Structures are given as C-alpha cells and as structure tokens.
Amino acid sequence: MTKFLIDDAGWLQSAEVIRSPNFDARPDHAQVKLVVVHGISLPPGEYGGGHIQSFFCNNLDAAAHPYFESICGLTVSAHCLIERDGNVIQFVSFRDRAWHAGESQWCGESACNNFSVGIELEGCDQQAYDEAQYLALAKLISALRLRYPGIGSDAITGHSDIAPGRKTDPGPAFDWARLQRLLMV
C-alpha cells in the first residue's frame, strides 16, 4: 500500500487540494489526538456532482436542489473528503482547525474541533461504503498517526460518538471492524 506523506505545513503530498475558507487556527498548545470519521452526500443519498466541494467552499448553488436551500448558509468544512472511488481531497491543513464536529465531546473534553482531524467519507448512514474508501482512510489515518503520535488506537471515532443525539454519521453501514483490520496491516 502506497503511503501518504504529510508535509510540515500540514498538507498531504499526494492529495487533490481545494482550499476551504471555513477554518481557523487551533488554540495555542492544542495537540491533534483524535480522528473523527464523518459521512456526507449531497443531495442526501446521491454521489458525485461536486456539491460537497462547493458546500465546503461556500459556493453551493441553493437552486440546484431543494435540500440545498436548508444548508447553503452554513459554514462547515473537513480536513479531507474521501470520494467513493477513494480519491482524497484536502480542504484544510491538519495544522488548522476545520469546522467539522460542531458541539461535541470526547473523553470528557468538549470542542473536538480543537484537537481533531475531520475526515468525510462520501456516503450515507444506510449504504455500504466502498472498499476504495476504507483503503484510503486507513492510509490517511496511518499517515496522521506518524505525524501526530498523540492519535492512539482508541482515538478514531464517528461523528455520532462525539455528538450523540445530534449526529448519526458515519452510520450503521460503516464497518469499523474492517477499518481496524486495515490499520493492523
């Protein structure tokens, strides 16, 4: 498996880059110690079309789909998006705070955006994710662990786990055991 490399500025060397304006600096002394796995599809249940990229860059056309009217005013992002075919797009440097988790808590610590990396998988709660996505996610997490040794084996979680009752992604279709097996290779 080819490895991802993260440079000193926090960018993957082999990923497509689309810079999102939806980020800010991490608080002083904040250490990356958590990976949050998300699932997203725009419109819900549909893939492709570049709508996620537009959403993360505040360019979503509200008239393109009725659902978009309800979200186009939101300012959100993630560090990376893994498309259905495994292509990785980076939106925010890992050194910065992407706006992905919202109100959240992990191990008694709130505001997870301060110390986490947010990785979106193109998908939805009820449909299986593609093998290419699991492979890319495992490679990305391995690279993050090399760069940020504070990310332990127990520090990979779903959005639903840090924002229970508010979020459901990546959903029951996400195979955590498969990801764990790939991370052990």
| 3-class state of residue 124 by DSSP | coil
Amino acid found at 149: P
Grouping H, G, I as helix, E, B as strand and the rest as coil, residue 67 is: helix
Q: How many CB atoms lie within 10 A of CB 29?
A: 5
Tally of CA atoms within 13 A in the half-sphere of 108 that contains its CB:
0
Residue 120 bears catalytic tag: yes
Distance of alpha carbon 72 from alpha carbon 63, whole angstroms: 10
CB 157 within 8 A of CB 18: no
Q: How many CB atoms lie within 10 A of CB 117?
A: 27
Residues shown for the chain: 185
DSSP 8-class letter at 3: P
- Active-site annotation holder among 69, 83, 120, 131: 120
The upper half-sphere exposure of residue 48, i.e. CA atoms within 13 Å in the direction of its Cβ, equals 1
Amino acid letter at 27? P
Q: Which residues does the annotation mark as catalytic?
A: 120
